[in-house]
Structure 1
Amino acid sequence: MNTKYRLAKLFNYEYWPFWIFYGPFVLVWLYFSLRSRSFTYFTSANPSVKFGGLFQYSKYGLLKMLDQKYYPRTFFYDNLEQFIDLKPSVNYPLVYKPDIGERGKGVEIVEDAKAVIRLAEIHQEKFMLQEFVSSPHEFGVLYYRYPSGKSGITSIVTKGFLSVTGDGSSTLLNLMNNEIRAVDRIDYLKSKFSERLNEVLPSGEILVLEQIGNHCRGTEFINANYLICDQLVKVFDEISSTLDGFYYGRFDIKAESIDKLMKGEGIKVMEINGVNSEAAHIYDKNYTLLHAYKDVLMNLNMVFEIANENRKHGCKPAKLSEFINHLKLHLAS
């Protein structure tokens, strides 16, 4: 398995480190920086969000800009003491999320207040508790709208949560060790399922190992761009209509079905990302590196164009010195 995993990491860009995959686009950033005469031009793409939503922006701050019908009940806490004083009046399970962070870091499903306290003591930061939404379908939708009016969707993925399927003879531990998407999470999973590691799953039984839909937590991103149409764009035009100063980002949502997604019925937005949003369909196992890079370039160009339009309307990019100082703090955290 180790050899198989190493080969997969080497030849499949889906598993490449972030800095290797995006390394070539430093030249693109420099090109757009020269054209816009600003190294932080992209922060103007979403002027209402700190650094345009690249890092250190408040997840709760973005969510609360939505109409309440579009997101699950969410409770925000500055610290653990505030949680102890103001525990949420809602049933568990809940989803614990650090208010600032990317790629699912620190996100956990919690079953009781003790679990919340444990996580809050570990992270020592602002956090939110979100009502767990059991809708079976989770999507990532990358939406944009130009200040001049044009809007659209450049990427949709459905999410296949990390899971194993029993064969009637292998233990859960063996199944996890032979699931390539579980390898980087194996220590965490062994702890999570410590009492079931020697259990033999019946043939055909599926066990979901991870219910947090992030790629770095083993989720498979499945290209669903076939769903892109004018009807769905109108749905997201409506959802984003209250997001003043927000023009580009990915909505992580849950819906009861594809049909209800297309109609905009019962959609729950779990999280919104800014200019750090990836066109996640590029990680589909059937996609090629050439097509992936082509789509990344298209989206980077879109961010540049949106930022440029906003600057013409008086939106100034972040000061480089401020950006660098906060970037250092972000990388050190």
Structure 2
Amino acid sequence: MGGGGGVAAATTVVESREWYLAAIAPENLPTSDHLKLRTVTVSLDYESIPDEQMALQLLLISVDPYLRSRITGRNDDLYLAQLPINKVITGYGIGRVVRSKNNNFSEGDIVVHPFFPIAEYCITPSDFVRKIDPTADISLPDYLSCLGVPGFTAWVGIKVIGNPDPGSNVFISAAAGGVGMFAGQLAKLKGCRVVGSTGSDEKVQVLKDEFGYDEAFNYHKETDFDAILTKYFPDGIDLYLDNVGGKMLEAVLNHVNKGARIPISGMISQYNTNPAEREGLKNLLNIVGKEVKMEGFLCGSFLNRFGEFSQQMEKYMKEGKIKPKHKIDQGIESFFENFVSLFSSSNVGKVIIQVAS
């Protein structure tokens, strides 16, 4: 993937398929009534591109659960603004520069964009766009996983906020997902004992065989969370990276040690539920008696550490200490199906769509 190619110089107008928000989805899983695919025409003529902007061809797009919060029509618990009706939706993506009116980018450059329109072609400002070094010997999907938002989220949660001592007991939920797979590996690199929860027996084996987890369990089978945490954490939990919230977080609060840390990067079990019907926690008082630090975080607040993160993760990858796992589907038309699959425990690793090569 990557490299040269692109649109021939004589081509000025292309047909581009794009995903857009047709209707808000306040609760439950979104359907094809909410997110739809349409075809538009995009002019790639140099004169039609505004100054300092560029035309991009989408190559790869990350499929992430946070999009669910951007199409609810609510602004109650958002960390990113609601997407407007009838506008193209965006995601973390990789593209090729087709035309450029910005001196920092040339035709053929491969770039990463955190708010890439999920469209085969687009015209975009250069804000937040950064070039990929073609000599770095890193595969393009890795820029959306290890070196992208999932890897950075895991790194902030484990290395910065959690910062466990060697020998600490670490628990990670949604452990076979895009964030969890790296969080567990990073905790192991710090000398911790790591246990993960995931949604199938197959993924339990992946956690132990491929990502180095000491133990893992299938939360669909082990539904008594207090009992299973007692089994795997007889000495209590020192660090819990929470990706799911709900009953799992409540159970963890019964097993935390004094001074435990709980970085919270997401609550996927609650994303499709009306706020008035979400599960509450009955044992929050535990964080007082055990002096627990529970902290929600956004990666955007740690961008000053992104260079440090990239340097460390790239080194770990080249040394074989961090291993990614991707589920790569083909074609922009597959985006919706893959997005909905994020909420069904059917995926292992980072979900990516390859739109072009």
Common fold by TM > 0.5: no
- Greater strand share, structure number: 2
- Greater helix share, structure number: 1
Alignment TM-score, normalising by the size of structure 2: 0.28
Alignment TM-score, normalising by the size of structure 1: 0.30
